[in-house]
Amino acid sequence: MKSLFFSQLTFILLLLTLLSGPLLAQQTYALKPYAITLPRLTTDQQNTSAPQQAGNVVFNTDEQKMAVHNGSSWQYVNTNPPGADQFRNEKAFFETQLWTVPAGVTRILTEVWGGGQGGNYYRFVNGGLLLAKGGNAGAYARGFMAVTPGTTLTLTVGTGGQRAADNYEPGSGGETWVQSATSFIRARGGATNGGNTANYFIYGDAVGFGVSGSDGTDVTISYGQQSATNYILLVKCGDGGTAYGAQRSGVGEQFSSLNSSALLYRTGSGGKGSFPGGGGGAGYIIGGEGAPGLITLRW
């Protein structure tokens, strides 16, 4: 009888061991792709859905974002890393104006080009000084500016310099700048007096860099002997300077003359400066106009 009791007890203990082992052991499960499935709705379906309780969550297939209802409207959950939505908007400004900072924008990336100088024309002054130089290009500047939503910025776009003709000197390019309450980014235009004095300025809490535009080139002259008494004068007027990031600027006119008096041929007036900020090319009778400046804003 005692032997039977111990046999039954041994059987019960063995059964409990077999049953309890798998139940008590810790199990590890891999997260499956379908572990959490939210309702998938288009924007139209989402906007025409029945009244929702606060906290309801769906996945919008158009926006590819989760949307949480706050009891009155759907609010999208931004899954992008911080700063990923910055500078997705861009606008170019070709004339002077005021610009209102959009809602939610606290920083903008600003680029400015000063206007280009006009090209000179072929002439001798001051006892034989030859003037046929291309206009200088405007400077370029770029920087980040802290701004306040709803405030107004002043945008000033520099004009291109007038071309030289009939004893009129080539005009300087105008300055281009963007100004907020706390910062100022400016690019000067191509200058008329001698070398290119165009430069950039960044004030206040703006952070950035800039470069001067390139100088226009000088006139080049060569001679070809036609006979013992005749020679051919070949003239290439100066090209305009090129602004940062722009295409090659205004091409200087070419012409030739016989014995520096009789005009044999010419290619036309000096070319207009390349946009933005390029200097005009020099010409035989009239130079090319300098190109106006430009402002671009990204936010």
Task: Specify if 100 maps to a domain.
Answer: yes
Is residue 286 included in any domain, yes or no?
yes
* Residue ranges making up the domain that contains 49: 40-76
Q: Domain for residue 84, yes or no?
A: no
pTM reported for the whole predicted model: 0.69
> Do both 174 and 271 map to the same domain?
yes
Q: Same structural domain for residues 121 and 247?
A: yes
Residue 31 belongs to a domain: no
Same domain, 49 and 126: no
166 and 71 together in one domain:
no
Give the pLDDT confidence of 253-278 residue by residue, as tens digits: 999 999 878 888 898 889 999 999 99
Distance CA 61, CA 109 (A): 32
Residues 290 and 158 in one domain: yes
Q: 48 with 153, same domain?
A: no
Interatomic CA distance for residues 280 and 252, integer angstroms: 8
Task: State whether 152 and 100 are in the same domain.
Answer: yes
Pair 123, 67 in one domain: no
pLDDT in tens, 31-71: 555 566 788 989 888 888 888 988 888 888 988 888 888 88
User: Distance between CA atoms of 184 and 198, rounded to whole angstroms?
Assistant: 17
Write phi, then psi, for 197 (nearest 5 degrees). -95, 10
Q: How many CA atoms lie within 13 A of 201 on its CB side?
A: 14
Average pLDDT score, the chain: 84
The answer on 262 and 196 residing in a single domain is yes
Asked if 178 and 53 sit in the same domain, the reply is: no
Number of structural domains found in the chain: 2
Domain membership of residue 27 (yes or no) is no
